[in-house]
Amino acid sequence: MFSKQITDSKVYDWFEERLEIQALSDDITSKYVPPHVNIFYCLGGITLTCFIIQFATGFAMTFYYKPTVAEAFSSVQYIMTEVSFGWLIRSVHRWSASMMVLMMILHVFRVYLTGGFKKPRELTWVTGVVLAVITVSFGVTGYSLPWDQVGYWAVKIVSGVPEAIPVVGSLIVELLRGGTSVGQGTLSRYYSLHTFVLPWFIAVFMLLHFLMIRKQGISGPL
């Protein structure tokens, strides 16, 4: 009844005339779902849901987090102890991050085991692998932001790995750390990556990934 009132309204007619909303709605709701699809095909959607939770809770914490070596840890403590429901927001952010990585790994295994990477879905697989790399990058950069002992040494170890690469190793390490040693430059770069650069990258590749899935449909059983 309510939906019929909306579709019969002049406002709806105005938008329908310009955007063809009904055609778009029909295309979305009439997409064929193969009979072999089961709960394991929902892993990608669960990963997306975890990301949305990550975005919402992370955005909320940016109002209180201070990305400086002197204040990062104390600002996280403030979120946990002083901000209303701050402990809940940060806990949800932390655990949904772990859940996102787990669901992503299971999703990759499901796609591989069901042959979802084969022709004509090679590019869908490639964008999925890129999304997996970005997801891990989110984890690495986010791990450092509390700037506690665990975060500091994790960054120091991870950023020092490329040093083993001949010729360009030292340059890469300096680029990752924002200087010759781990410090304010490192925290600033990781915060920028975590809150600005990586979200843009993952948004673009998610859009490409979903458009290709939409175009090619769900892969069949082996």
Q: Can you tell me the distance from the alpha carbon of 23 to that of 74, in angstroms, rounded to the nearest whole number? A: 52
- For residue 4, what pLDDT is reported? 56
**pLDDT, tens digit (0-9, with 9 covering 90-100), for 118-166:** 888 999 999 999 999 999 999 999 999 999 999 999 999 999 999 999 9
The one-letter amino acid code at 36 reads H
Rg (CA), the chain: 22
Q: And the tokens for 151?
A: 């975060």
At 2, is the pLDDT very low, low, confident or very high (cuts 50, 70, 90)?
very low
Kindly state the helix (H) or strand (E) to which residue 160 belongs, with its residue range: helix 149-160
Residue 50 annotated as part of some ligand binding site: no
Annotate 43-55 with b (16+ C-beta within 10 A) or e (fewer).
bbebbbebbebbe
First to last CA, the chain: 44
Residue 36 annotated as part of some ligand binding site: no
**pLDDT, tens digit (0-9, with 9 covering 90-100), for 12-66:** 888 888 888 888 787 777 777 778 888 999 999 999 999 999 999 999 999 999 9
Q: Can you tell me the distance from the alpha carbon of 66 to that of 47, in angstroms, rounded to the nearest whole number? A: 28
- For residue 90, what are the contacts with CB-CB under 8 A and spacing of at least 6? 57, 61, 76, 79, 80
Q: For each of the domains in the chain, give its residue range(s) and CATH number, in order of start.
A: 44-216 (1.20.810.10)
Q: Can you tell me the distance from the alpha carbon of 79 to that of 101, in angstroms, rounded to the nearest whole number? A: 24
